Structure 1
Amino acid sequence: MLPTVRAILDLPVLRAASPTVLGGAQRLDTPVRWVHVSEILDVGNLLSGGELVLTTGLELEKFPEESASFISSLEAAGAAGLMVELIGQRPRSRQALEKAARSASMPVVMVEQRVRFVQVTEIVHRMIVAEQLERVERARDVHEAFTVLSLESADTQRVVEQAAAMIGASVVLEDLSHLVLAYAGQRVSTTELLQDWERRSRTTPFPAHTARSGPEQWLQAAVGVRQQVWGRLVVPMPPAALDADEDMAIMVLERAAQTLAINRLADRDQRELSHHAQAGLLNALRQPRGLSEAEALARAGSLGLKRSSYYVPLVFRSALPAWGSPILPVDPFAGQQDERELLERLAKGLKSSAGTALAASIQSGSVGMILALPARQQEETTLQVLAGAAAGQSAEVTPAWIIGVGRMQATLLEAAAGIDEAAHVAESAATLRNTGKLYFRATDVRLRGLLALLRKDPRVQQFVESELSAVLQADAEGKGEYLELLGLYLGSGGNKAAMARSGYLSRPTLYARLRKLEDLLGVDLEDAESRTSLHVALLAHLIRGQ
């Protein structure tokens, strides 16, 4: 960082002269870009801002009444400060300078002993040049580090960790739906970092360029290429909490965002980040190593798992067409594709249930899941939905996936520990003859099914945010009635009379609120195309949030 006026006054060459700050003490931490020595009063037009002006004040001795205008001209030119050397009996200069300095906004310093200005200039300029060289070297280090990560196609977590280490602060990567894809904590607990993340994120505007915004002053950078932005990198900490200066933090964040975008282009599978994030968390929950329940819930919540009363561990084990002969897939790539398709079907199936889940491949041929349920009575129904989702559209008697279910637990970590039990159940069941039909339900392939398949697509997320930004913003601010009203209105097919007859609201109140809703959304709700667009966006939002 550039030396400040305070740091310069602390140099031995000046400290020996016992400098006195006559005014502007509140600006002593102003950075100094250069040192300028001048004996003329009309020096403002020679400055470009950030200079510390040194003078012997001989001209002020001749024209003490010019002290105030002299200081004002330096302030107008953006000078960092003024140092005046007053030696001997110079009462007129002193009194005029002291009076003018009282109202100065920049530091005005007086020294009454001889100071070698050339020595001060040499030392400060050396400090400035050294800082500039250091900044160039830091920029080179940042460039080299992220270039290596790009060439190695480093995973998302590694890039985020590198950015956090260089900035010296926590960094979070989220998608356009405000779900956390990766994070690296610095000096704060995971619980504190990710607590209530979606609400905090929605109330933080997305600036057009890398900058700070929102009530918590988050520093953020867009992640993506040109118009294909799919997320943002966030430093949810104030400038004072950073090890690096603000410019350095911005440079690191932008370079990290570029690396993530480049690496994403190398792998077009846009579902991979979310799957990878859930797999990493699921493995961490199975081997917690000091992970607390609160931290586990915060991390899981940032990936869409709702805090619930009960948690059930499940494992889906692949099987041969011939019932009772479990094997690993012959083609590992085909097996991975089957697992991805199963994860998509399970996620889509969960949208029509009361549960949320974390699900990921735990080994070749096996997919683990932690299912969160608000009530014990919903376990059987939800398992039937999952069995149907696992079966997909197949009409074959022999299931492609065998489901092992662990014991229901009251905590997330206990359920994660039960994954091994569920895996054992699945492997054991695979050795049995067909003892009966698995529960299954046909997957919804209409609009809800399509949106469930596309819910991770940034274009769909961007569409949802564009259509519903106003009501989602209001919901984040505690005005959830607009989102509810929109859902009821669209669910009734835009029939206001039917809504009024249902007893939801009196007819005048309902019409008044619908007019407010139209003003908030900026659309005509009587227009069929507008209703269709809003309905699709709302369905996509609800499917993502379940």
Structure 2
Amino acid sequence: MPITQGLCHLCMIDLVTTCSDDAASATPRVRCVDRISTGSTLDFIRCRQEVAVRSAAFNRSGALAPLLGGPVSNIYGSGMWQSASVASILELEIFQRSGAYLAAGEGGLDRLVRWVHSGESSDIASFLSGGELLLTSGQGIGSTPTEQRRFIAALADVGVSALAIELAGRVFTEMPHAVVEEANKLDLPIIGLPIKIAFVEASAQVLQQLTDIATKQHARSDEINRFLIERLLTGADSVALVHDFAGLLDRPVVLESIAHEIQAYYGGDDGGAHGDIIADWQTHSRAIDIHSRDAAPESACRRVPIVLQGTEWGWLHLPSLGQADNRMDHIALDHAASAIAISLLNSRVTRVRSAHHQSVLVNRLMVGDLSGTGFVQRALQIGQDLRGKALVVAVIGSKTRSSAKVQPEIVTLLRDENFPAVIADVGQSLLAVIALKEGTELHDIAELLRDQDRCIGFSKVAEASDLPAAVDQARTAASTRQPVQFFDDLGLLRLLVSLASGPELDQYVEEELGPLLDAEASNEKGLLETLTVYLDCDGNKSDAATKLFVHRRSLYYRLEKIEKILGRSLEDHETRLRLNVAVRSLAIVRAPQMNRYHDF
């Protein structure tokens, strides 16, 4: 089994690479030795895996385990964490001193070099994996144009970044024409070395440059990590993190859900190229799905997934928009994605736990297991300070949605306006105990929570000791199913609601309105609405016609039909009073059963 020895370009100690006889198909095994030699066929990553314990320079950096990440190679690719362009390598002291020059492949000067090798074998390409600067005296290049072209093509095929050829007379005194032609065709940089140089010294200088770059990148990575962790510790949510991250990179950043809906975006004004992308985000984002999971084409977007507990939640995008590809931006993108995942997960867990604690507290108050004063004390333990404040209880229902869907909206509205509150889902409604801020009144809370889809009942303003009674008041007010109903304004409805728990109210409605309800069910539509508006207008036909948007003659016709069905005159004050009570009772009778009987 042949053995080749060389310098380990990662840990700066010597190594032996042992291969099987079939070198092309072998997987090299690497071990470090105590003497320096050249001609290494080592793969950088395999070296790191086997000799990392002795790689003191690499292990001193704290950035090898990024936030929520693993080994750098697993996150950022094979060795691209530390790399330098061919153009910058040419500026090193040893190449400047030796008069090194670019003989071919000018189009490849921006190629990245991630390590350096020296070798004289004609099949050296089979031992390389891309990104190398290959140093050679030229012994393996070949003596004929065909051999030389084949050698250059093989190096380009495996992704070698550049080839430096000694032209000091051991093999060549000038650059072979075939080498120049083939390299120009493939944009493979060829460096001419007019004098002999120590390849070990060249390797050391390249390694030093790569180490310096890696050190700066590690420092920048640590800086980004610290920044994101500090923002998490101060309670930044995903929207704030996107804003901060975009400012950090001075580039647009987009956070989207798995359904390609924008959840957060920051990138300055909406003009320019990124404005075009945002305006047609669905098209842009879905087009990326035909590419790899980790990245879109550089001209489109760089993105990483946001994963919560093993489930893909969405993506964090870094639109390129023609900007230079910055590897540190991509590294930072991974860190930001991890921070956003932590923020989302923490927010989800916090919401669930808070909802559970508040639900337990409210239920204990409702069943009498906790006094009003005890409720306020326990509320402080879960972060809601209701002490020494005027309190109001609100029961909030929705006409079209479940309480679970409405609850986050109510929580957000009260939190954003700094109203301390304990809110719980109690069935078909929410029950909220809200502390009024100094200078605010009950009507301010009502206007804040008012919505055309909601039905809200409010108690009187109460002290802590009166909370149990306030709960009953709010439930009574809510049972009217009005958009906003204050307990103090119930009037007659307060008595009617108290009757709703038994059959009396249903019987009264049937006795007073039964024939009219039967007519409505038989396609006589609009009569109940006409009666309700007429009674609300206290029998004023002109006002009723205006509110109903009908001609007065049409109103007269409807009223005559109602009188005929009910067998009574609507001109009679006593009749209108009885019907008014019946119409109001009907709203309570038709309310959902859980609301009617206060079984929240």
Q: TM-score, normalised by structure 1?
A: 0.47
Q: TM-score, normalised by structure 2?
A: 0.44
State the structure with bigger RCO (CA 8 A, min sep 6), 1 or 2.
1
